[in-house]
């Protein structure tokens, strides 16, 4: 089968691209990172008028969906333009509530879905992930492991851009999403050496539904950051509740705990992430019980699949934006009297980046067609790794200027690593694919 988007889908993507190009998203991203949600919510409303948030909402609740292919198309553009906010989580929340409604629990859907479709309500949620490799450790699906000093990492010396004990500069590590020296804890590595998979303190469930406890050896308290989960969670046992993205901006904070769906009454302190525009907080325990029973677990699994799809599309968009900016810079920057883009080494690096992104694209839209969990995991790991590779290429080719926060490039550089790991780390996704299709 040969899949090509329809003319209508292409036109939709072009209209979103034009609207977001005119919206000055870098200014919106910086405002959101500083806690000013006004510009972001205004942009959110404009996206709602274009029908973006209605794509995951069924027609009986004022939506036009579910339309996973159109949703993937939209999230590529959201990633390309760096739109801040809990977009993935809002789509996943819509999928969760819709699935509950189909199973007979329609009250939460009637209460929240219409306002989500209209863009009047922002939602975020946390869903415990069942890790196929329980012995490795798991974490809450929506949490961001890149900020946690207790997250597992590669052995020292395996990758100088990731290893805090290697000789790379602090500016490079910050740009690529690596915490400063002395902040990392040691949990061990995954089966394939990818980092990170286990996170203590962010909430996880093992395959039997029991809390998965990951022993950690964290850094001394005085070395931990004063902001970030490391300041409050390093060395703790894992809980059953994870971090919620943009809980301070969301109107609805949903938390899945086993077979129960809760509306959290609030959240704890907001912590900075690798990406300043990804603001994280742990939901406050308690609140209102919205639904209970086996249907909640099934709906949560469906929502997790939609979150993987949206995150993969967002990562692909981020990678494409990084590649476009890097190609443009390579045509402008001159060295030895000629553009650096004419150098063979630079051409090869850019070509490799393009191939990785273009390989991820059909996997993404193929997964949107099937909505099979293993296909979604394959798309997620491929798009996430391609975006992260694009970030490394962009940083290397831009050189020292790429480190600067004043350059808009930094806004996209910092998104690649969290998106690679959010809603399923590379190791977790590979394990899911292997589990589904066989292999050792």
Pairwise CA distance, residues 43 & 85, whole Å: 10
Cβ neighbours, 10 Å, residue 157? 9
Q: State the pTM of this model.
A: 0.78
Pairwise CA distance, residues 412 & 147, whole Å: 17
Pairwise CA distance, residues 296 & 103, whole Å: 9
Three-state SS at 65: strand
Q: How close are the terminal C-alpha atoms of the chain, in Å?
A: 29
Question: Beta strand 252-257 with 244-245: parallel, antiparallel or unpaired?
Answer: unpaired
Residue-level pLDDT at 337: 81
Whether the per-residue pLDDT at 204 is higher than 80: the answer is: no
Under a CB-based contact definition with an 8 Å cutoff, are residues 103 and 299 in contact?
yes
pLDDT band at 213 (very low <50, low <70, confident <90, very high): very low
Edge-to-edge order in the sheet of strand 288-292: 123-126, 252-257, 260-263, 288-292
Residue-level pLDDT at 126: 93
Min mean pLDDT across 74-78, 88-92, 113-117, 403-407 is at: 403-407
HSE-up of 222 (CA within 13 Å, CB side)?
0
Pairwise CA distance, residues 413 & 388, whole Å: 8
What would the mean pLDDT of 11-26 be, rounded to a whole number?
95
**CA 1 to mean position of chain CA atoms:** 30
Identify the residue with better confidence: 182 or 352. 352
pLDDT band at 1 (very low <50, low <70, confident <90, very high): low
Structure-token pair, residue 359: 């390989």
Cβ neighbours, 10 Å, residue 14? 11
CB contact burial 207-241 (16+ within 10 A = b; e otherwise): eeeeebebebebbeeeebbeebbbeebbbeebbbb
Under a CB-based contact definition with an 8 Å cutoff, are residues 61 and 110 in contact?
yes
Tens of pLDDT, residues 218-270: 222 222 222 222 222 333 323 334 889 999 999 999 999 989 999 999 999 99
Whether the per-residue pLDDT at 279 is higher than 50: the answer is: yes
Pairwise CA distance, residues 353 & 386, whole Å: 7
Number of helices (H), then strands (E), in the chain:
13, 8
List CB contacts of 353: < 8 A, sequence separation 6 or more.
Answer: 319, 323, 326, 386, 389, 390, 393
What would the mean pLDDT of 169-198 be, rounded to a whole number?
35
């Amino acid at each position: 089968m040969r899949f090509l988007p329809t003319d209508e889908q292409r036109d939709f993507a072009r209209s979103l691209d034009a609207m977001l190009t005119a919206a000055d998203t870098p200014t919106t991203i910086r405002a959101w990172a500083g806690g000013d949600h006004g510009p972001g919510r205004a942009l959110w409303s404009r996206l709602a008028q274009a029908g973006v948030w209605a794509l995951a909402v069924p027609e009986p609740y004022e939506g036009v969906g579910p339309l996973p292919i159109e949703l993937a198309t939209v999230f590529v553009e959201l990633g390309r333009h760096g739109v801040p906010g809990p977009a993935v989580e809002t789509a996943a929340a819509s999928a969760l509530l819709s699935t509950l409604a189909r199973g007979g629990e329609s009250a939460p859907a009637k209460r929240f879905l219409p306002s989500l479709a209209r863009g009047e309500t922002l939602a975020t949620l946390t869903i415990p992930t069942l890790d196929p490799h329980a012995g490795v450790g798991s974490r809450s699906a929506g949490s961001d492991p890149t900020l946690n000093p207790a997250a597992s990492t590669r052995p020292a010396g395996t990758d100088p851009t990731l290893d805090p004990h290697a000789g790379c500069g602090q500016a490079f590590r910050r740009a690529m999403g690596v915490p400063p020296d002395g902040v990392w804890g040691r949990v061990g590595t995954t089966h394939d050496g990818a980092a990170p998979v286990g996170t203590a303190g962010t909430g996880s469930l093992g395959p039997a539904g029991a809390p998965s406890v990951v022993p950690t050896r964290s850094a001394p308290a005085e070395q931990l950051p004063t902001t970030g989960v490391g300041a409050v969670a390093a060395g703790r046992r894992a809980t059953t509740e994870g971090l919620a993205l943009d809980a301070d901006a969301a109107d609805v904070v949903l938390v899945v705990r086993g077979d129960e769906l809760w509306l959290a009454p609030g959240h704890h302190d907001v912590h900075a992430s690798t990406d300043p525009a990804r603001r994280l907080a742990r939901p406050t325990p308690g609140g209102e019980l919205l639904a209970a029973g086996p249907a909640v677990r099934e709906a949560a699994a469906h929502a997790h699949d939609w979150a993987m799809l949206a995150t993969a599309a967002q990562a692909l968009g981020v990678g494409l934006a990084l590649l476009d900016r890097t190609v443009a810079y390579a045509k402008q920057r001159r060295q030895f009297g000629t553009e650096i883009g004419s150098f063979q080494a630079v051409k090869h690096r850019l070509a490799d980046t393009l191939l990785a992104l273009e390989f991820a694209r059909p996997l993404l839209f193929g997964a949107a067609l099937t909505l099979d969990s293993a296909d979604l995991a394959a798309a997620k790991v491929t798009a996430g790794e391609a975006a992260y590779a694009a970030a490394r290429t962009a940083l290397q080719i831009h050189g020292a200027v790429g480190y600067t926060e004043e350059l808009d490039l930094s806004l996209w550089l910092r998104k690649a690593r969290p998106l690679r790991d959010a809603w399923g780390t590379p190791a977790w996704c590979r394990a899911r694919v292997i589990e589904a299709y066989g292999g050792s």
